[in-house]
Structure 1
Amino acid sequence: MRSAVSVILSNPSSDPNMSHPDYEQTYHHHATLLILVKHLGEELSNKSFQKIFDRINKINNVKVVDSVGITRNIWARFVKDYPVGNNDWGDFQTHRRLLGLITVGKCKTQGEFNEICRTHESYKVKYTLTLYDSRCIVLGINDGPNTPNFTPPTNFKSRALYYATDGEESSTLENNISEFLSALFWVLESKRHERSREKIERVSLLLAPFERRDLVGLDMESRSIRKRSFGRMTKHLGDLCLQAGLYGDAISHYNAAADNLRAVNDWLWIASACEGLSAASMCIRYPNALKSQIIQRNASLQETNKSRTNHSKTMSGTEILEPSSLLLPRPNNVLSPEDICKNYREAIIHYSKYQNAGVIEIEVCFKAARVAIELNMVLQAAFFLQNIIFINLNLPEDEKIQKLMTLSDLYIKLGFRRKSSFYQRLAATYYVSARNPNTDWDQCYNLMLQSLSGHDLTLDPSDYQSEGERGWGKLQKVVLQDIVAAAKRVGHSSLATRHMTLLLQVMWNELSPAEKHECALQLQNIAAQCEGSPIPLVLDSGLVIPPANLIHIPTAENFQVHKLKPHQQPVKLEKVKEDYGPFLFTPLNFGSMERKTSNKDYKLNYLWVAEEECEVKLELTNPLPFELEVSNMRLLTNGVVFETLPLTVTLPPEVCRYPVTLTGTPKEVGELEILGYSTHTLGVKSNCRLKILPKIPHSQFTIEVVPALPLLKASINMFADQKQSTPTISLYAGESAMCELVLENIGRGLIELIDISIDSSSDSNILSCDTSELEKQLPLAEGSKIVLPLKVFAAANFINTYPTDGVSIRSSLFSGTNSYPSLSSFKHGVFDHLGTPSPSFRSGPSSLNSLNSQFNRLNIDNSIKGAECRIKVKYSGKPGIDAGYCRIATLTLHVDITNSILISNWDVLPSETSSHFYMVLDVMNMTNQEVEVKYTESKSILIEEGESCRVPIPVERCPLTKIGQYFQSEDSIKEIVDLNTACSEHIASLVEVAWLMGNRQGTATLKGITLSSHMLDIVRMSPINWDIWLNVGEAGGSGPFTVTLGECIQARVIAHNSLSRSLTDLSLSVHIFQDYQNGTCNFNLDTRLAIAGPSHLYLPEVRLFLT
């Protein structure tokens, strides 16, 4: 755009340029009357002056009816300062002329009043070439009886306005300002009429300030000069019409001027005509734009970026028209939006041909950009703004800053946030450049902060996503580093620490290992001056800097909330279930959306106890190549009061997953939320919350804290030195031992409830505890003990259960004659699947040698067998017991059981009486010592190591009260099995074989013994009992009965039905034999015995319980 194709028409003079560019100018300023409002004297405070100025500034528009009855809309622009050099450009563009002057002062004496008047007149002289009229507002005098009256000096030729104060007493101020604007309009209107009535030959050549020396040597009467003069005057008339509210006439004059000036290549004024043409067209399209604009820009560079962005939305192209303007037809020569931008583009091209028009070019670029933004022409606006960068002007640093800030504001309106932030950062560097005599690091720092949003950066770490990229990482690192440097130069060490902490928190993944090391050392040096803390910082401007935390130094790899130790864990006491009626179920989830919680909130399914130390284990990684000291590590919690203990740990260089345990004690009952942990490292205190830790999946852990519970120590006193962690006792099978269960209250509070239960892995009879005296010793006070006796019994299976084949089982179960009706119809083979060991002998003589040879063939396991017994002590006390909680102390006792004696075989023999039988046992010594076996009250036998012995034991038969229900006609498997079980339990309850080995003793039981059908016939009581009476009154059958040879014996047999049902078809027979006492019996006594009466009797029926 700034091409060098044309010849520069003039060289710069001593000071031909405009003094100060106005970067806030808009197209509407072409249609305004420029008025200067000055503050005079020292009596009037700046606050009061600003109040007066604001009131004046609101009266920026008046409606005036001209001489032909047309209502003119006149606009004014009020400024507080205006350079005289800019006023010199009034012929080139009339809106740059200062037309009015308003001074505001306050006085109390005549001298002060005279000084105000003198100063006012000096300003009139300063702008006398363009000034139309002026007003002098004086406060505090000449306004009623309450104010002094002073006379103005004779040289004061202006109109003065007197007010007592700047408040309600000056209510006529607005009217006076409106009247002042009307007066300026009429002067302007008269000037316009003068110019419009000038003859062509008398039109003077209007000049820009730098063109005056070009008149030397020129023929002013030449045709080109005349045409140039007329074209410039026509353009001047267009400016006056625009200010006078005649927008349509202004467009006509601008078009005519442009045509005339193009004929003579008057590029500078052609540019001005094009600019005026676009401004007039915009004024017609948007006649009330100034109503929403602030004329004087007073915004401080310290304001936050948010206040700027409130006005950053792109304005739409909708035309804002007043009702009166809607009634007026739009002139046909109004430019379209595309033509408006085209004319601005042409004006910029022509301005760029003149070195002395650089300020004008910058201003028109800003105007064109604002117009393009208002017309929603984003690319055109960006084009105009980009052109400003290539305009090289020798401006002071403060004006460069103002230019860059204006660019930033306009780029924000376009939505170019990063570009806006770029110019803000560039402006910040000008505040501290070497050429700036007034270096201001505070302003530099503030602008750096404002530029963060354009780079997708904020000061709040919570705005950054935990995953994914946000913006431009390499650029963001540089921006944050610049802010840290600016904060250090400001002298605010806490800010520098905070920003460096933020850099390490949010830019960690963008930093290389070397950069991480460098930044960490830099942070450590900065924090040495002022350590960082996790609290917001409030600046003097009111900006709040949120806290930042070192969540990566060190890095948390794992965060685990631990359960209490097993003996400290609370358990819910079981309650008796109450019947609440039917349970109603519905698959509908009413309100399920409201009940859904974040997956990151994790509710733990175990409990902590108040006043009990709890643990959280972490795994930390040190990413830095030097030793890292982390001090004052504590847990961050919410909810119930939690007393956490500080921890200091030193992490080796670049260590991974270093275990750390944090402890604390809950002080109240309820829900405890564990939010994270705090650290103090590199001089920065950080709150590392779980929700911002990248490697922890949960944002918090919630755990229930139950009321305090007492603590019980349970131990077993074995009366011997025990070095193992688990108490162990070794016993022979059947042996018993005593030990003590010691319960000690080592906690705080009374123990009110103690419940002891024992669980064994093999036999429930191994361990037993006598708790009869327990209740009497409760409650258990602090430091007190309870000692309970424990009995350990080496329960074992003394019956040899080696497997046998099915044939022997069958022969043993079904051997012998079934003499009872209930067993008359057994089916062979029904018990083939039962693994019942069978005795290998029957009643009668047998040799021990044969037994020993058989025992040697037995495959018997003689190894030591272990049994584990677990003692559970459930206990509780206030206040936990009131909430229904208790604790369980668990002890384990290991019992090693060595075989003592073994019942390898067994059989039953009938006794001399019907109420007893003999249980014949083969007892084998399984120990390596001699064992004394006592099998009855008065009989015992010694058995050598590995030897066996057969002993008979008299046993009462199983009564019918236990087995009477099995005497039925059905031969079911279940009945036979149940009968066998009942008889086996009967024998086990009556028979115990005691053994003695030195000072150790024990008993062997027959629990688990099995019986064949032949054995069952002997073991169980007969359903028919009989009594034998010899010679009436003398019972026989139980012992020897002596008679003489040839003596008559009267035998009486009485049979009883012991069953609960009748017996039929019974035969009662008497058999007599002679025993030779050598194992031979003689049953043939026909020659030796005579029987008078029947020896056989048939009974058709014997009723229940009858004889």
Structure 2
Amino acid sequence: MSVPDYMQCAEDHQTVVVVVQPMGIVPEEQFFRIYKRIASVSQVSIRDSQRVLFIRFRHHYPPENNEWGDFQTHRKVVGLISVTSCNTAKEWPQTSDRFHGQKEVFGSTLYDSRLLVFGLQGEVAEQQRTDVAFYPSYDDCPDVEKRVEDFVESIFIVLESKRLDRATDKSGDKIQMLCVPFEKKDFVGLDTDSRHYKKRCQGRMRKHVGDLCLQAGMLQDALVHYHMAVELLRSVNDFLWLGAALEGLCSASVIFHYPGGTAGKSGARKPSVSSAADAGKRHRPGAQEVLIDPGALTSSGISADTSAEIGRAKNCLSQEDIIEKYKEAISYYGKYKSAGVIELEACIKAVRVLAIQKRAMEASEFLQNAVYINLGQLSEEEKIQRYSVLSELYELIGFQRKSAFFKRVAAMQCVAPTIPEPGWKACYKLLLETLPGYSLSLDPKDFSKGTHRGWAAVQLRLLHELVYASRRMGNPGLSVRHLSFLLQTMLDFLSDQEKKEVTQSLENYTSKCPGGMEVISLPDGLKLPPVPFTKLPIVRSVSLLNLPVSLRPHKVKGLLGQGLSSASPFIYSPITMHSRGDERSKKIDFQWVQGDVCEVQLMVYNPMPFELRVENMGLLTSGVDFESLPAALSLPAESGLYPVTLVGVPRTAGNITINGYHTSVFGVSSDCLLEGLVGVKSSGCMVEVVPSLPRLQLCTSLPRSAHLSSEDLSTSVSLQLFNGETQQLTITLENIGTETLNTLELTSKTLSTKEKLFGEFLTWDLQDALSHLPLKSGQSVSIPVNISAKLDFSGQESLLNDLNDDGISVTGLPVSSPLRQVLKPRTENKPVGSDASKNEFNHVKYTSYGWCCFNGYLGSNYDITLECSAHIQVHCELVKSSLLYCQFFHMYSTYIQRIEIALLSDPRCIQITLTVEPKNLDQI
């Protein structure tokens, strides 16, 4: 026997084999539909008996395996069901002849046969025959299962008669010598009258009867015959048949201990034995009941107290003894090269039993022995099947990596060079099944949870094989996905040269089929999730940036009334705090403005040994409509942290959440979410977007001066005035946005001065400007502002003391006169405190001209202070008798840059230092 049945299990010893084959031209789909219905009748309860006959249906069975039917009767084909199509009565004679020819293949062992004819109607079809069933079509055959049950009962009748004939054989010494195919030549010229030969014949026949009893549902009788066969065969050293008798004894004991079966089938088989006492009730009248005393078998190695261990069944092995007898039987099989298939199948049966007993290490020993069993020249398909079954058995006992190893060997066998048409699809499918054994998952999220699991070198090899197999399948999209997965998850284990090679291969694949973020569905239902490149480049921190100082919105204080709160009427609300805790922790304390460019800064670095080009890098947001403005990066090789600013424009107001960013690297588009980034520091990801504000450009007629502070929203202008002098400043406001300005308010504030001011330092008239409101887009309005210098210098001595304390004295003190403008909603349109007034904003955006420009936001809820700092140099007498000096300063003030005044030892004298440019010395 050269073809092993890798699905063999111990309970198969109680089954009979029935072959179901198509005859002639039968559509494959129709045949397997009928075959499925036939195979559903896997066990039949015999009428007028408590016994059950189990059937093992096969649609393909090697005839050479049938020759071993005497050695183990469960290998013998006892039934044949042929399925054929016959449309006319003229075809019937030829169909009948074919059926008889098909029976001849298994003719020596068949107990009964049936022919199912589909499509024939008429006189021939109306004939009543027991061996032929006619049906009009494949869809109109309601009683197929009933026909099969009748067929199985007829097989049981023949089986029972053979069992009785063998068990009650009175031929004495003339017992038939049963043998296997390779033994026939060894018995030529053998002395058939010797006692040794007769004992061998008796032992083999006793073992054969045990097989028949097991198939006929008489488990206790089978155990008795197996024990007797073991005694007889051991005495004559008939090792091959002794091994078969021991295996039969193990199978019968397994059937008793595990009535649900050992093959992992869903349907549990019925127990065939309840006790030894009622075994005789299942016999036909006249059947012999032969029981041997277990105590008499201790010399042969069979435990004397097995009945106590099992509880009820006599002669049944314990669970531990079953494995020992399997080992002994396999050792006997190993003595015969031609019994390799029998040895292999016995190992598989023992492994299935050990798997149920949770004895994985012992099961692995049987499997290791099965690996080295030489079965001669196997076809490629048989090799694939052998490695696949070994993989399944290793998985059954929990050896996942060993299972993955043999499954990968089977995958490589599918594309062996000797195969004319390599099966790349089968190879790819088997490779996918090896992933769990090597701690691999096709979901990149599993690799961001902690430390790496498994052997990286083996995983890299397997991923490369998946890439190659998918490419040979003609599916470049799969190749891109697997190569992207390899680069993302195995980047830390790649050398610099491997990184270059992998990226080059990825670029070659993506030039034909770009990679994306869609889920790839395979034909067997497996789904490949997208693989975002979160390591190309690696992001370490994400920060949302505030708007520039001149563009930040500020809440208007006092417009809604002091002390009013629109959030909640309660002082403390624990429900609100707990429900919004996470949201508040993510929300940022500044605002963005609808329609303005907003920025998010990422700190990234390039882990590759070459320059990394990142294209189409932009933000992923939710909450409001957001227009992301993509950027392109070029990061140097193995760069340090590198700041990257991503920008975009919110198109609607509300709360916007920055979920991540998208990139395009090596032709693969990726959506990288912040929650999937490892070790990323983020100060928050949610920010409020206020509605669009008007843009106002403010210019003055005075020259500009330097800013006093980087955080100052104003633009300073310089102005020189003598004490008592008044000068007019013209402020021009132009609406350069699309929103309309409704109201205008102008306020002033003195920042610092040590002198006492007389009257208003700044005065203006808004009547003309207010008459031009509302100010529409493109319109402008001018506001005249009078600046008057009226200072009190009556306390000269204290002033001089202050100047002396500083070590230096100046003639003029800086005086800031801030201008503040507030746009208020009209009371008749938007009452104070209404929701409309809360959500309205106006915006001023500056444009640089030759004049001084003021920048910032204006609005009913947000305002900004616009300051115009006038640095006034006041030239006056420091001592009452120094009128000459005042006249001198007045005449030459245009040439003097700086005046320093210092006190001398004589309190009546002071020192005045003038600073002038060299070109003006001659003038002075």
Same fold (TM over 0.5): yes
1:663-701: CA deviation from partner (whole Å, max 9, x where unpaired): 222222222222222222212112222222334234982
- Structure 1 partner of 2:475: 492
- Structure 1 partner of 2:738: 748
Separation in structure 2 between the aligned mates of residue 41 and residue 656 of structure 1, nearest angstrom: 74
- Structure 2 partner of 1:265: 237
Q: CA deviation at 1:419?
A: 2.4
Q: Is the 8 A contact 1:427 1:447 kept in 2?
A: yes
Separation in structure 1 between the aligned mates of residue 223 and residue 249 of structure 2, nearest angstrom: 6
1:1015-1047: CA deviation from partner (whole Å, max 9, x where unpaired): xxxxxxxxxxxxxxxxxxxxxxxxxxxxxxxxx
- Structure 2 partner of 1:108: 87
| Cα distance change of structure 1 residues 522 and 927 upon mapping to structure 2, 3 Å threshold | farther
2:595 is equivalent to residue 611 of structure 1? yes
- Structure 2 partner of 1:170: 141
Separation in structure 2 between the aligned mates of residue 766 and residue 405 of structure 1, nearest angstrom: 97
| Cα distance change of structure 1 residues 591 and 744 upon mapping to structure 2, 3 Å threshold | closer
- Structure 1 partner of 2:407: 424
Separation in structure 1 between the aligned mates of residue 568 and residue 153 of structure 2, nearest angstrom: 93
1:243 counterpart (215, 236, 257): 215
Q: Is the 8 A contact 2:43 2:52 kept in 1?
A: yes
2:672 is equivalent to residue 706 of structure 1? no
Separation in structure 1 between the aligned mates of residue 606 and residue 429 of structure 2, nearest angstrom: 35
Partner SS for 1:729: coil
Partner SS for 1:459: coil
Q: CA deviation at 1:136?
A: 0.6
- Structure 1 partner of 2:845: none
Q: CA deviation at 1:630?
A: 2.2
1:147-188: CA deviation from partner (whole Å, max 9, x where unpaired): 3232799xx997101222344x53332222111111111111
Q: CA deviation at 1:71?
A: 1.9
1:221 counterpart (182, 193, 207): 193
2:123 is equivalent to residue 149 of structure 1? yes
Q: Is the 8 A contact 1:734 1:900 kept in 2?
A: no
Q: Is the 8 A contact 1:568 1:711 kept in 2?
A: no
1:666-685 matched pairs, under 5 angstroms: 666-685=650-669
Separation in structure 1 between the aligned mates of residue 691 and residue 808 of structure 2, nearest angstrom: 56
Separation in structure 2 between the aligned mates of residue 58 and residue 692 of structure 1, nearest angstrom: 50
| Cα distance change of structure 1 residues 756 and 462 upon mapping to structure 2, 3 Å threshold | farther
Q: Is the 8 A contact 2:543 2:682 kept in 1?
A: no
Separation in structure 2 between the aligned mates of residue 246 and residue 406 of structure 1, nearest angstrom: 31
2:154 is equivalent to residue 183 of structure 1? yes
Q: How many residues align?
A: 819
Instruction: Report percent identity of matched pairs.
Output: 35
2:183 is equivalent to residue 211 of structure 1? yes
Separation in structure 2 between the aligned mates of residue 228 and residue 746 of structure 1, nearest angstrom: 114
2:38 is equivalent to residue 49 of structure 1? no
2:165 counterpart (166, 179, 194): 194
- Structure with higher Rg: it is 1
Q: CA deviation at 1:288?
A: 4.7
1:533 counterpart (491, 513, 516): 516
1:853-868 matched pairs, under 5 angstroms: 861-862=809-810, 864-868=812-816
Q: CA deviation at 1:723?
A: 8.5
Q: Is the 8 A contact 1:928 1:946 kept in 2?
A: no
2:773 counterpart (768, 774, 778): 778
Separation in structure 2 between the aligned mates of residue 699 and residue 520 of structure 1, nearest angstrom: 34
2:362 is equivalent to residue 383 of structure 1? no
Q: Can you give the 5+ residue segments of structure 2 that lack an aligned partner in the other structure?
A: 279-310, 708-714, 843-856, 858-862, 892-900, 904-924
2:43 is equivalent to residue 61 of structure 1? yes
Partner SS for 1:71: coil
| Cα distance change of structure 1 residues 193 and 602 upon mapping to structure 2, 3 Å threshold | same
Partner SS for 1:90: coil
- Structure 1 partner of 2:205: 233
Q: Is the 8 A contact 2:6 2:345 kept in 1?
A: yes
Q: CA deviation at 1:902?
A: 6.0
1:382-436: CA deviation from partner (whole Å, max 9, x where unpaired): 3322322222333211111112222222333333332222222111100111233
Q: Is the 8 A contact 1:798 1:902 kept in 2?
A: no
Separation in structure 2 between the aligned mates of residue 548 and residue 412 of structure 1, nearest angstrom: 29
Separation in structure 1 between the aligned mates of residue 79 and residue 494 of structure 2, nearest angstrom: 61
Q: Which amino acid aligns with 2:147?
A: N
Q: CA deviation at 1:325?
A: 7.7
| Cα distance change of structure 1 residues 857 and 612 upon mapping to structure 2, 3 Å threshold | closer
Q: Is the 8 A contact 1:113 1:152 kept in 2?
A: no
2:16 is equivalent to residue 21 of structure 1? no
- Structure 2 partner of 1:338: 320
Q: Is the 8 A contact 2:438 2:454 kept in 1?
A: yes
Partner SS for 1:330: coil
- Structure 2 partner of 1:160: 132
| Cα distance change of structure 1 residues 294 and 466 upon mapping to structure 2, 3 Å threshold | closer
| Cα distance change of structure 1 residues 517 and 543 upon mapping to structure 2, 3 Å threshold | same
Partner SS for 2:533: coil
2:642 is equivalent to residue 663 of structure 1? no
Q: Which amino acid aligns with 2:316?
A: V
- Identify which range, 878-887 or 568-577, moves more after superposition: 878-887
| Cα distance change of structure 1 residues 494 and 173 upon mapping to structure 2, 3 Å threshold | closer
Q: Is the 8 A contact 2:263 2:352 kept in 1?
A: no
TM-score for the superposition, normalised by structure 1: 0.68
Q: CA deviation at 1:533?
A: 1.4
- Structure 2 partner of 1:359: 341
- Structure 2 partner of 1:790: 785
1:467-518: CA deviation from partner (whole Å, max 9, x where unpaired): 3223333322222122112222222212111111111112222333333233
Partner SS for 1:780: coil
| Cα distance change of structure 1 residues 614 and 899 upon mapping to structure 2, 3 Å threshold | same
What's the Cα RMSD here?
Answer: 3.7
Partner SS for 2:586: strand
Separation in structure 1 between the aligned mates of residue 270 and residue 652 of structure 2, nearest angstrom: 66
Separation in structure 2 between the aligned mates of residue 190 and residue 90 of structure 1, nearest angstrom: 17
1:575-614 matched pairs, under 5 angstroms: 575-576=560-561, 577-578=563-564, 585=571, 589-590=574-575, 595=580, 597=582, 602-614=586-598
Q: CA deviation at 1:33?
A: 0.9
Q: Is the 8 A contact 2:261 2:269 kept in 1?
A: no
Higher relative contact order by CA 8 Å / sep ≥ 6: 1 or 2? 2
Separation in structure 2 between the aligned mates of residue 38 and residue 471 of structure 1, nearest angstrom: 47
Partner SS for 2:68: helix
| Cα distance change of structure 1 residues 114 and 287 upon mapping to structure 2, 3 Å threshold | farther
Partner SS for 1:653: coil
Partner SS for 1:728: coil
1:900 counterpart (875, 879, 882): 875
Separation in structure 2 between the aligned mates of residue 51 and residue 692 of structure 1, nearest angstrom: 49
- Structure 2 partner of 1:883: 839
| Cα distance change of structure 1 residues 703 and 578 upon mapping to structure 2, 3 Å threshold | closer
- Structure 2 partner of 1:138: 117
1:694-1093 matched pairs, under 5 angstroms: 694-698=678-682, 701-718=685-702, 720=703, 726-732=716-722, 735-763=725-753, 767=762, 769-794=764-789, 798-800=793-795, 802=797, 861-862=809-810, 864-875=812-823, 883-886=839-842, 887=857, 888-901=863-876, 922=880, 929-930=887-888
Q: Is the 8 A contact 1:709 1:876 kept in 2?
A: no
Separation in structure 1 between the aligned mates of residue 526 and residue 786 of structure 2, nearest angstrom: 78
Separation in structure 2 between the aligned mates of residue 412 and residue 769 of structure 1, nearest angstrom: 91
- Structure 2 partner of 1:914: none
Partner SS for 1:121: helix
Q: Is the 8 A contact 1:927 1:946 kept in 2?
A: no
| Cα distance change of structure 1 residues 579 and 191 upon mapping to structure 2, 3 Å threshold | closer
Partner SS for 2:681: coil
| Cα distance change of structure 1 residues 932 and 515 upon mapping to structure 2, 3 Å threshold | closer
Q: CA deviation at 1:20?
A: 1.5
Q: Can you give the 5+ residue segments of structure 1 that lack an aligned partner in the other structure?
A: 1-17, 142-146, 296-317, 805-834, 838-854, 905-921, 934-944, 948-1107
- Identify which range, 699-708 or 781-790, moves more after superposition: 699-708
Separation in structure 2 between the aligned mates of residue 63 and residue 474 of structure 1, nearest angstrom: 56
Partner SS for 1:617: strand
